[in-house]
Structure 1
Amino acid sequence: MHLWPSGSTSRAHTHPRGHLVYAAGGVLSVHTERGVSVVPANRVIWIPARSTHHHRAHGDTDMRIVFLPPSLARRTPARPAVFLASGLAREVILTLTGTRQLDRGARARLHRVLVDELHETHEQPTHLPEPRDDRLRAVARILDDNPADGSTLAALGQRVGAGARTLSRLFHDELGMTFYEWRTQLRVCHALVLLAQGHDTTRVARFCGWANPSSFIAAFTAIVGTTPGRHRAGGITGT
């Protein structure tokens, strides 16, 4: 258990064992070589052994870390991955990282339950993959600086020196999604951070580029699995 004030950041580091990171309160952004994952209260991120990463807290954050033995780590992806934190997974993580004294057998059983539960829920990314191509990186910087920018891909291409067709192909080949899917994911990641900092839904919708709160709520719910209001109140969804 690590209690971090808003804005706290760790240095880039690795661990010899793979581990799960969960924000019981607040929101974490976890930066790896594959990009940035935003981890609200209904997500948990898996970080494999020796994977370089660092964290940042958005809002006062209660970070929980569960290290897995190698026998269970082999059942998880070989890359960082984000999973839905069901109600059961959440309670197991809180028990493993809480003040209750557990013997080795109980801890091992809870570890197995947790990994089984992640397998049942599958991956549910709130993840923004990191572009490699310089032109995609330039587009990403523009929209990260101003997520409300509603420029078309063609207009952005003129600013970075690439055609819309080329950029569209790069988004598909490098990031596995369309430009519009990626931009929506970027906006939702920004929205999670702003909500954790205490901003209201209307202001967040406007800052992140939605024309009205209702369209923001629909997009946010489709990706995060809960409404912005319920998310701010600390509610999570389960499976």
Structure 2
Amino acid sequence: MHDDHDSPLGRWEERTELPLFAASLLFLASYAVRVLAHDLAPAWRDACLAVTVALWVLFVADYAVRWRLSGRRLGFVRTHWLDTVVLVLPLLRPVRMVRVYGAVQRRRDRPRLSLHARVITYAGLTAVLLGFAGALSVYHQEHAAPGASIRTFGDALWWTCSTLTTVGYGDVTPVTWAGRLIAVAMMGGGMALLGAVTGSFSAWLIQTFAREDENRPPAG
């Protein structure tokens, strides 16, 4: 939900959306380096951790400023539930690409893509970012756990793809409670993304066929 662009909250969000999106990608990159670079020197590992913590503090400060500017207290939490979720789970911040696109389009006055194309594009980009973040998270929790079947990042990517697409082969599965919580979130995200894409594609087909029927000359 976007607030009035002329309000203090609206102006703050418009000015900070793109820089914060870049910060979220840097957060994801620093976390990925710490998780995947096992031979990284301790100094570099500490630097990545410092970047990760500093960016999370930045996200908390942004949330606090927007909560203060809104003047709605609990109402802000209800209407900005996605912001609240990604504050607790900052790896999901890149998923907010829809809001970034909105900020860009407000500066350009009009969208370049049709509604259906935007939905499919958003869903595709969100699936990639959500899948990468989910694979990192489940690999971090699982690879050293006793009896784990997700031992490599490749295993985590395979598990993520089968989970997001709701296929669920079951050849690799999380064994830790944290990994299973991530799995539940990935299942919900996969179902939502699949529903958004199929619904938008179906609506586009219906509109296309209806337009063809309208343009077709009457039978003689």
- TM-score (structure 2 length as normaliser): 0.30
Larger radius of gyration: 2
Which is richer in strand? 1
Looking at both structures, which has the greater relative contact order when contacts are Cα pairs under 8 Å and sequence separation is at least 6?
A: 1
